[in-house]
Every structure is written in C-alpha cells, then in structure tokens.
C-alpha cells in the first residue's frame, strides 16, 4: 500500500468512525456542543507536513468539525506558511470545514550569543512577520511551544525580558502571546532555589504573556496543575488537555479539579493534544474519543 493510500485510508476511516458515533448519538441523546480545540500536532501522521496537508486536509478538517471540534491550533508555521499554504489559504481551508484557526505553536528561539548580549534585534524582525501572518490567518493567540532553560539567573532575566518584548508587540497587533509548559519549567534555575516557571511568571507582565499549561506534562514533572492555577490566577488562560494517550484512559490525570480551578481563575480556551495511541486505535479514532470524553464531562463548560 502506498503512503498516499495509507493516509487517505486513515482520514476516511476517521470520517466513517464519526458517522457511526453520530448515528449512535441520535439513538440516545446528542452530546452537547462545546468550544473545543485540537492541536493539529496530534494528527501529524495525517496532515503533519505540507505534502500530507495537501493530500488530506479537506476530509480531515471536516472530520474534526464533525467530531465536535470548533477550532484548531497549528504546529507547522514554516517560512511564513502554515502546512505549506499561505495564512489566508489556511484560514479559508479551516472555514470551509466549519473550523476556526484559534492559535499556533510558533517561536523564534534566541541563540546563546543573543542571550549573552541581551540582543533581540533579529528575533524581533522574525516576530514582525510572524505576527502579520497569524493575523492574516485569523488567529487569536501565538504560543511559544518551547524555550531554552536558563543556565543562571542572569539568563533567566534575559529570557523574561524577551518574552515581555514579544508580548508587547503582539498586544499592539491585537494578538495574545503565551508560553506552553513542558516539564523542565518545573525545574530550578541552576545555582538557585527558584523554580523556572515561577520566576518566568513573576517576571513577565500579565498583559504580555499568559500560560498554556500542559496537564499531562505538569503531572509527569511532579507538579500540581491545580496548585499552579490557584497560585497564579489569571495567568493560565489556556490549557493543553492531555493524557498519556486518549483522555481519561491512563488513570494519571484527573481533569475535573483542573477544569474547575481553571474556570474560576481565568481560563479562556483549552486545546486537546494527543501524543499518540497505545496501538489499539488510529490517531483519528483517538481524537474522536477525546472529543466525546470532553463533551460528556459535566464539569467542562460549553464556553469559557
């Protein structure tokens, strides 16, 4: 079987899966509509690059809308394009499927020399282009998906200054700027007793940078998502809703107290991300299961 055929089969299977699920719903009770978003990195084997996107985006984006997703978050902003198409075309592709482009994982990481010299000149030129492109795609947020861990407190402050500068530039353009946590942010800055995430929150302005807290990676790091949400009200504007595989399957993540705490402390949007499956489902089947899980959860509001 060719790669093209395999990808198409996965996409069509996902559409078939949802049709079956929808038929089952009508015999019982339709699941409530909710403002759910999907990080497209979750389905990278289907539309993870420009070639796959060109082959499969129409059927795949439509399948996501049919599952109940309302918006998407991108993970392929390269050379001023999203998945190989212009920002305007990506916006149109989403709208044709009944979706909206909510946010994007995109960033310009500082080089060691730029950190040492506290020099953001070239980086800000990149951000000028990125901000214009994300505006053209109709997005609300730009989220830095990763940043280097500082080696000392001086580097930590430089990175905070950089994020503040990015946030100011995004604000001027009517976009919101955020930072996605992994596990390392819960480590201490070398040579200090200060947790990197806490320093970063406390040394960036609330209006310049919010947090997109990854529920699974926070727990993996030994941190309590609920404690951080309560400690920094208003700063965790987005959640990356994640489990080991499909939501609710691992027994590791209790999403109810996380959603309840976040809803009381400034949550605006949440994004489903699935790293993979245990092999018993395709990834499209997995993200359909995630959608059903959240739509059935009474503690997840229709909108925030």
**Per-residue pLDDT tens digits for 13-31:** 444 444 444 433 433 469 9
**Per-residue pLDDT tens digits for 155-199:** 999 999 999 999 999 999 999 999 999 999 999 999 999 999 999
**pTM of this prediction?**
0.90
- Contact criterion met (CB below 8 Å) for 226 and 258: yes
- Contact criterion met (CB below 8 Å) for 246 and 280: no
Per DSSP, what are the bridge partners of residue 208? none
- Contact criterion met (CB below 8 Å) for 283 and 42: yes
Q: Which of 199, 197, 183, 201 is nearest to 242 (CA)?
A: 183
Per DSSP, what are the bridge partners of residue 177? 142
DSSP state of 224: -
- Contact criterion met (CB below 8 Å) for 192 and 151: no
Mean pLDDT of 288-300: 98
- d(CA 188, CA 110) in angstroms, rounded, equals 20
CATH number of 3-296: 3.20.20.150
- d(CA 304, CA 292) in angstroms, rounded, equals 18
């Amino acid at each position: 079987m060719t790669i093209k055929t395999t990808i198409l089969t996965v996409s069509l299977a996902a559409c078939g899966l949802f049709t079956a699920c929808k038929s089952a719903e009508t015999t019982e009770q339709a699941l409530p509509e909710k403002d759910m978003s999907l990080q497209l990195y979750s389905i990278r084997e289907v539309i993870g690059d420009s070639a796959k996107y060109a082959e499969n985006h129409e059927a795949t984006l439509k399948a996501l809308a049919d599952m109940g997703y309302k918006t998407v978050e991108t993970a392929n902003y390269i050379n001023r394009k999203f998945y190989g198409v212009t920002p305007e075309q990506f916006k149109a592709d989403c709208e044709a499927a009944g979706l909206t482009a909510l946010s994007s994982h995109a960033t310009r990481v500082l080089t060691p020399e730029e950190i040492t010299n506290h020099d953001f000149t070239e980086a800000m030129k990149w951000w000028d282009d990125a901000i214009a492109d994300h505006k053209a795609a109709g997005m609300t947020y730009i989220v830095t998906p990763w940043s280097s861990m500082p080696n000392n407190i001086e580097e930590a402050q430089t990175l905070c200054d950089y994020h503040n500068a990015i946030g100011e530039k995004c604000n001027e353009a009517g976009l919101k700027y955020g930072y996605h946590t992994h596990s390392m942010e819960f480590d201490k800055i070398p040579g200090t007793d200060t947790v990197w995430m806490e320093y970063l929150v406390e040394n960036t302005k609330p209006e310049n940078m919010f947090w997109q807290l990854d529920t699974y990676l926070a727990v993996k790091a030994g941190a309590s998502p609920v404690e951080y949400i309560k400690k920094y009200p208003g700063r965790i504007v987005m959640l990356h809703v994640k489990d080991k595989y499909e939501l609710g399957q691992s027994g590791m993540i209790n999403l109810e107290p996380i959603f309840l705490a976040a809803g009381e402390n400034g949550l605006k949007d949440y994004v489903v991300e699935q790293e993979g499956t245990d092999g018993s489902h395709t990834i499209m089947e997995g993200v359909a299961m995630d959608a059903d899980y959240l739509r059935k959860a009474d503690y997840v509001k229709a909108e925030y």
